[in-house]
Structure formats: C-alpha cells, structure tokens
C-alpha cells in the first residue's frame, strides 16, 4: 500500500511526478503567501483592533484533543513558515504553516483568510504531521510526498 510507507521510505513511488508539480507550483506562490503572512503579522503589531487571529471552533476542538495550547498555536502562526498555499475561489486563501513550538514540537497550522483582508486570519486546524494520520507528508513533515487515495479506514473528520 503506497500510504503505508516504511519509516526509511520518504517518497511515494507512485506520486513522484505530482509531488514535483506541487513543488514547482509552490515555488511560484509561496512568495505571495510569505507576503500575506508578513502583512498579517505587521497588522497584529500595529493595528490590534482590526487585525486578528480568530480560532475556528474546529481548530479549538482539535487543539484541545491534540493538546496544543492556545499560546503554542499563536506562536506557530507567528513564527511558522508558509509551506503550502492555495486559492479557493476568487478570494479565499488557505495557508499551511509549519514550525516548531518552544518545546521543539513540530506542528502544522492551517489558516484561512480573505485576500481582501490579509490582516484577519482564521486558524482552521492544527496537528502534528508526523503522526500516522497525515500519511501524505515526508518524514520531517515539511513536504507533501503522496497523493494516493486515503487508506480505507481513514477518517476525513480527523483532519
């Protein structure tokens, strides 16, 4: 099974081409993501009343289940590095940030924002990509390497 990769196998043999296409796409768009991230962080520092990080109820639930503190989540949003970025519809943007907490815990935080309001972000979910549930990432959690269909027992609600 392609999603049941052994610990020493960091690439999915079936998905090398798609992984390369994603890498090429991200090379184009991550500078945009980084610019929006900077705008967001600058907003947090200079205009606290209008700039805001909202925690989506889903994220709140997940962060409690996964024992991710609110401070850790905020830290991650502030210090994380944009790893993936997608446009959903004309205005909605989704960004995946990767970073380490002060305790050295590697986490992903997924945020969404309206491109017209890059100073207001919503944290959608947070998780440790090196847990088995996120089978499509590399071992170091910093690249998507697999696009195969999910395992039969995989629950999308887990993400």
| φ and ψ at residue 20, rounded to 5 degrees | -70, -40
Distance of CA 46 to the CA centre of its chain: 25
Distance of CA 105 to the CA centre of its chain: 15
Among 5, 15, 36, 80, binds Zn ion (CB under 5 A): 15
Nearer to Zn ion, 86 or 147 (CB): 147
Distance of CA 94 to the CA centre of its chain: 8
Per CB under 5 A, 12 contacts Zn ion = yes
- One-letter-per-residue 3-state SS of 53-80: EEECHHHHHHHHHCCCCHHHHHHHHHHC
Between 137 and 156, how does the x/- string for binding to Zn ion read (CB under 5 A)? ---------x-x--------
Per CB under 5 A, 76 contacts Zn ion = no
Among 14, 16, 23, 81, binds Zn ion (CB under 5 A): 14
Between 95 and 134, how does the x/- string for binding to Zn ion read (CB under 5 A)? ----------------------------------------
Q: What's the CA gap between 139 and 97, in Å, rounded?
A: 16
Question: What is the smallest separation between the CB atom of 148 and Zn ion, expressed in angstroms?
Answer: 3
Q: Which residues bind Zn ion (CB under 5 A)?
A: 2, 12, 14-15, 146, 148
């Amino acid at each position: 099974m392609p999603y049941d990769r052994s610990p020493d196998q960091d690439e999915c043999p079936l998905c090398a081409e798609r992984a390369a296409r994603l890498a090429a796409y991200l090379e184009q768009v991550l500078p945009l993501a980084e610019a929006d991230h900077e705008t967001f962080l600058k907003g947090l520092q200079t205009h606290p009343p209008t700039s805001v990080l909202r925690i989506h109820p889903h994220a709140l639930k997940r962060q409690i289940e996964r024992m991710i503190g609110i401070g850790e989540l905020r830290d991650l949003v502030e210090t994380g590095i944009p790893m993936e970025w997608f446009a959903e519809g004309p205005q909605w943007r989704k960004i995946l940030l990767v970073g380490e907490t002060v305790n050295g815990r590697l986490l992903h935080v997924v945020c969404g924002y309206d491109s017209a309001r890059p100073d207001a972000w919503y944290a959608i979910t947070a998780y440790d990509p090196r847990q088995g549930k996120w089978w499509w990432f590399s071992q170091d959690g910093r690249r998507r390497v697999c696009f195969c269909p999910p395992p039969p027992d995989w629950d999308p609600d887990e993400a």
